[in-house]
Amino acid sequence: MDGDLDQILITPQAISQRLDALALEMSAVLPGENLVLMPVLTGGLVFAADLMRRLPNRLTVACVNASSYAGARTHSSGNVRLTGLETARAAVRGKHVLLVDDILDTGLTLSALQGALAASGALSIRTCVLLRKDRPQASAFPVDFCAFDIPDAFVVGYGLDFNGLYRNLPCIATLTPQAIASGMADTKEQEKPA
């Protein structure tokens, strides 16, 4: 798997140090009670797990699944699919919500989730992203907390995937052109009718 990596953008050590600082920043402004930490699955799972262990706030966890990527795509399709909303809506009623997502590139996912949760009676909704891409849409979308700003590149690791792979990398990296081409070829082969 290491041979598939082109460039490591953020090391495991840098991630750990930033999460320590981010948790301190967040705990100073998040409510001490009635807080629901809501990871956006599946990409936000690793980040949310490491972050919540650093937060001293009393909190519960409720997950929601949102996707605007499909298969081997490296850019958002523009359509956001939300699943698990009924459980999430019940969990946030009368609570403060911290939405935790992996990456901000268009703001579509967070916007869709904020709208759905606000209509469910959440007292407040704050957003936190691991990565914010250097794209006009990402810069224009306000988030409360951001761990890292990155170039507009397709990245994997620390929860982010390409065709379901690389989520378990402890760093955030780009893939070689060969790894991307191979992954796209695998996807096309799987999509062929039998």
The string of pLDDT tens digits covering residues 91-108 is: 888 999 999 999 999 888
Region class of 160: left (phi > 0), else alpha (psi between -120 and 50), else beta? beta
Among residues 20, 105, 134, 149, the one annotated as catalytic is 105
pLDDT value, residue 64: 87
Would residue 40 count as lying in a domain?
yes
pLDDT value, residue 121: 87
pLDDT value, residue 120: 84
Residue-number span of the structural domain to which 147 is assigned: 17-151
- Name all contacts of 59-62 with Cβ < 8 Å and 24+ positions apart: 59/35, 59/98, 60/35, 60/36, 60/91, 60/95, 61/36, 61/37, 62/36, 62/37, 62/38, 62/87, 62/88, 62/91, 62/92
Count structural domains, the chain. Answer: 1
pLDDT value, residue 75: 47
Give the burial string for 65-96 (b: 16+ CB within 10 Å, else e): ebbbbeebeeebeeebebeebeebbebbeebb
pLDDT value, residue 69: 52
- Cis ω on the peptide bond leading into residue 176 (within 30° of 0)? no
pLDDT value, residue 139: 86
Would residue 187 count as lying in a domain?
no
pLDDT value, residue 119: 84
CB atoms within 10 A of CB 169: 22
pLDDT value, residue 72: 45
pLDDT value, residue 73: 46
| Whether residue 102 lies in the annotated active site | no
Cα separation, 163 vs 11, whole angstroms: 22
Would residue 107 count as lying in a domain?
yes
Cα separation, 11 vs 93, whole angstroms: 38
Would residue 85 count as lying in a domain?
yes
Would residue 11 count as lying in a domain?
no
Cα separation, 2 vs 19, whole angstroms: 24
User: For position 87, which CATH number holds?
Assistant: 3.40.50.2020
Would residue 136 count as lying in a domain?
yes
Residues of the chain where predicted confidence (pLDDT) is lower than 50: 70-77, 189-191, 193-194
What is the token pair recorded at 149?
């700003």
Would residue 12 count as lying in a domain?
no
pTM summary value? 0.85
Residue with tokens 């191979």: 182
Would residue 121 count as lying in a domain?
yes
